[in-house]
Amino acid sequence: MIRSVLAAAAALVLASSAPAAAQPPKGPPVWVVKDADSEMVLFGSVHVLPPGMAWKPPALAAALRHADDLWFELPPGPAAEQESARLAGERGVLPPGQSLFTRLPPADSARLVRVAEAYGVDKAMLDRLEPWLAELALAGAAFRRSGAGLENGVEKAVEAAAPATARRRAFETPGEQLAIFDEAPEVEQIASLRETLREMEEDPQAFDKLVAAWAAGDIATIDREALQPLRRASPLLFRRLVDDRNARWVRTLDTRLKGQGRTVVVVGMGHLIGEGGVPARLRALGYSVTGP
């Protein structure tokens, strides 16, 4: 879940057309999609960030000033956040008498105890949660340790910077997004939890490294360090989190591009890179797409 919150996930890294000696772009990358009468700017988000980061690329700022509509994964604002929390509490708690620790293999259960103690997470609370929600709770502890929060994330800043006249749109409802995790087979949930536990124990600076890679536009590092591990650990969850959603979103964006106007799309960074990413899928439909 750490990698899904940071960047969702992605398919293969796009091959760069720059010379081998070129340095990676400074700042998070921006993709621009065009047809005869539409322009769409795609920006990859980190949903939670430490305070005080200077990350906004000029191309995004310019696009926001003239945007007719903004697209996010979820509706912006506190109502969607509150609904996500409510649904997580309804769907992510085990039935009475059941225990996460006893559902996990012994080695995973032991590591869960160690990680919970190291990050100050209540073990009794974790024991009541389904694997996907336990992973989310642990990821939240890792973000808090880095001083990161939703209030500093990309979506909050973009929504605040956009003109009031720009329509706010969303690809998913909180219920639809939570169902991706909640309805995944438990074996896949446990595999993803296992990978996050390993990362939190063996590389506690992983989140900080990934934020630095995003801020530097280092797509290859994001794919290698955050996305490939999820792809290996839980292929089905990877497909549910990334490929299936990318395909749905591209159908929506294709319809939007067939109209007129200027659009800004802000989704997890991992949805934008690779052969299965949104820019590559739009390029395959015949649109002009520039970017990394």
Q: How large is the average pLDDT for residues 87-107?
A: 96
Residue 252 forms part of a structural domain: yes
**pLDDT digits over 109-156, tens only?**
999 999 999 999 999 999 999 999 999 999 999 999 888 888 889 999
**pLDDT digits over 35-76, tens only?**
999 999 999 999 999 888 889 999 999 999 999 999 999 999
Greater pLDDT, 244 or 14: 244
Task: Give me 6's structure tokens.
Answer: 């940071």
Q: How confident is the model at residue 26 (pLDDT cuts 50, 70, 90)?
A: low
- Tell me, what's the pLDDT at 206? 86
Residue 243 forms part of a structural domain: yes
Task: Give me 106's structure tokens.
Answer: 């012994």
- Tell me, what's the pLDDT at 233? 83
Q: Indicate the helix (H) or strand (E) that contains 71.
A: strand 69-72
Residue 213 forms part of a structural domain: yes
- Residue-number span of the structural domain to which 242 is assigned: 2-10+27-67+75-91+149-182+205-290
Q: Contact, 1 vs 192, CB < 8 A?
A: yes
Cα(79)–Cα(85) distance, rounded to whole angstroms? 10
- Tell me, what's the pLDDT at 263? 98
Residue 114 forms part of a structural domain: no
Asked whether the predicted pLDDT for residue 4 surpasses 80, the reply is no
Instruction: Tell me, letter by letter, the H, E, C secondary structure of 248-285.
Output: HHHHHHHHHHCCCEEEEEEEEHHHCCCCCCHHHHHHHC
Specify the number of domains making up the chain.
1
Partners of 39 in the beta sheet? 34, 262
Residue 127 forms part of a structural domain: no
